[in-house]
Chain A
Amino acid sequence: MEYRIDLPLTKEYAEKLRIGDKVIFTGTIFTARDAAHKRMDESLDKDGTLPFDIKGNIIYYMGPSPARPGRVIGSAGPTTASRMDKYTPRLLDLGMAGMIGKGKRTPEVLDAVVRNKAVYFAAIGGAGALLSKCIKSSEVIAYDDLGTEAVRKLYVEDFPCIVVADTAGGNLYDR
């Protein structure tokens, strides 16, 4: 199946999605990768806060190359999701609607996906130039000192993904 989804992604909609489905997103997503996840985890330990409202939102595991003058962003493809596995169940339990990345996840993450009716999507690894064309705005909203690893709020149009882990426990990489 192919779905065009205006974000945010609701739990009802998430339950319809099955592994192998293609989805095309339009709306707001947030970026975070290794160092930002570590900081968010420490911030939750300290005072329970995060730099943006995680509930109902999607994190895109991505650290862009710098934008040339006059452009929104540089190359912007997904990074390997498994490096965030340590932090992901906690964020899912706080209401994160899904993640966009590439590659395998741990059973703990997949369980948390099912438990929270969330979805793990893959974008095409190594297609950062192509995917950058779908990003219409980009703003650093936290951890500016981390450079490419800062948290960014992105507005995307027609951003293509594939469902790789769904609310029913399906895993597209398990073949």
Chain B
Amino acid sequence: MTREFDVSLITENIAEMCIEANHFLSEDMKEALYAAAEREDSPVGREILSQLKENLKIAGEDMIPICQDTGMAVLFMEIGQDVHLTGGDLEEAVNAGVKKGYTEGYLRKSVVSDPLIRENTGDNTPAVIHVRIVPGDKIKLTLAPKGFGSENMSRVFMLKPAQGVEGVKDAVLTAVKDAGPNACPPVVVGVGIGGDFEKAAILAKQALTREAGKNSELPHIAALEKELLDMVNETDIGPGGLGGNTTAFAVNINTYATHIAGLPVAVNICCHVNRHVTRII
């Protein structure tokens, strides 16, 4: 059976999700922030975490975006292969939703149309869209508006297989240390291991949308996530980069098969405003 969807449904959902993501953090991120505020050792770090809690409260109550950088809209879309989309172009429908959300939600327009000419598009379009066709008759939308303070500190490393897991750890720590205070710590570290050059980067970005504190289902990867989180939190970068034991809330790793000659590792860093909203329609 084919299920028909009018693309205007996508537009409406995306618009609402843009506004929701920029004013309210998901429960897992909120819990991570509150838990960190309890166990942070540094007085300055504790003060910053308490101000971030206050910031989050004001954002939701007064409808002021959590951060002024309301991001570039990144969308992961899983479309069931039994879905038939009608009423227009899917990509245009997504961008119409971004435009509506960013305009009606008083969100910042942070996108320039050409990376060198740099004229603001005025409505935060276009989005960065990743589509996967999957079995079923539903559409799953995960919207993650991404700020660029932390995006700018992200890296791709093309390691050699011989560098192995130690090479992966070095890569993650290098990226986190180089980011230092610039990425607005505490951060969430999304890591993609495997695939090829661009697959690793997409895996890393998608890892950021996983619940903070929920480890990989693969035992060796879950162990690596825990070990890396401890290592990152021993760097003493701390909240605001001013020292402390809360440098990251989580290290989330996604993996994929790779080539016999390669070990790609992407590290996508996100600030504490790690926004992601998922809807299934």
Residues of A within 8 A of B181 (CB): 102-104, 122, 125, 173
Q: Restricting to B86-136, which residues have a CB under 8 Å from any CB of A?
A: 106-110, 118, 120, 122
Of all chain A residues, which has the CB nearest B153? A80
Chain-A contact segment, one of B50-58, B163-171, B211-219: B50-58
A46 to chain B, nearest CB (A): 19
Residues of A within 8 A of B55 (CB): 124, 126-130
- CB-defined interface of B39-58 with A at 8 Å, one 1/0 digit per residue? 00000100010011011101
B90 to chain A, nearest CB (A): 28
Given A103-B180, A103-B181, A124-B51, are A74 and B62 also a contact pair (CB < 8 Å)?
A: no
Residues of B within 8 A of A132 (CB): 64
B277 at the interface (CB under 8 A from A): no
Given A80-B182, A148-B110, are A124 and B52 also a contact pair (CB < 8 Å)?
A: yes
B249 to chain A, nearest CB (A): 13
Chain-A contact segment, one of B190-198, B235-243, B261-269: B235-243
Given A68-B106, A80-B182, A104-B180, are A126 and B66 also a contact pair (CB < 8 Å)?
A: yes
Residues of A within 8 A of B120 (CB): 146-149
Q: Restricting to A124-175, which residues have a CB under 8 Å from any CB of B?
A: 124-130, 132-133, 146-149, 162, 172-173, 175
Residues of A within 8 A of B62 (CB): 129
Q: A64 touches which one: B44, B58, B68 (CB < 8 A)?
A: B68
Could you tell me if B243 and A130 are in contact, using CB atoms closer than 8 angstroms? no
Could you tell me if A103 and B272 are in contact, using CB atoms closer than 8 angstroms? no
Given A79-B149, A148-B108, are A175 and B243 also a contact pair (CB < 8 Å)?
A: yes
- The secondary structure that dominates the A interface is loop
Residues of A within 8 A of B184 (CB): 102, 125-126
A119 at the interface (CB under 8 A from B): no
A77 at the interface (CB under 8 A from B): yes
Given A127-B52, A128-B67, A129-B58, are A63 and B108 also a contact pair (CB < 8 Å)?
A: yes
Give residues in A with beta carbon < 8 Å to B.
Answer: 20, 35, 62-68, 74-77, 79-80, 82, 102-104, 122, 124-130, 132-133, 146-149, 162, 172-173, 175
Chain A to chain B: the 10 pairs with minimum beta-carbon distance, closest first: A125-B184, A103-B182, A130-B55, A75-B68, A75-B65, A65-B108, A129-B64, A128-B68, A129-B59, A127-B55
12 A-B pairs besides A66-B108, A126-B55, A130-B55 with CB distance below 8 A are A65-B68, A65-B70, A67-B106, A75-B59, A77-B67, A80-B152, A122-B242, A125-B181, A125-B184, A133-B58, A148-B120, A173-B181
Name 24 interchain pairs, CB-CB below 8 A, sorted by A: A65-B68, A68-B106, A74-B106, A74-B108, A75-B70, A76-B68, A79-B68, A102-B241, A104-B180, A122-B240, A124-B51, A125-B149, A125-B181, A125-B184, A126-B184, A126-B273, A127-B55, A128-B55, A128-B64, A129-B59, A129-B66, A130-B54, A148-B68, A148-B110
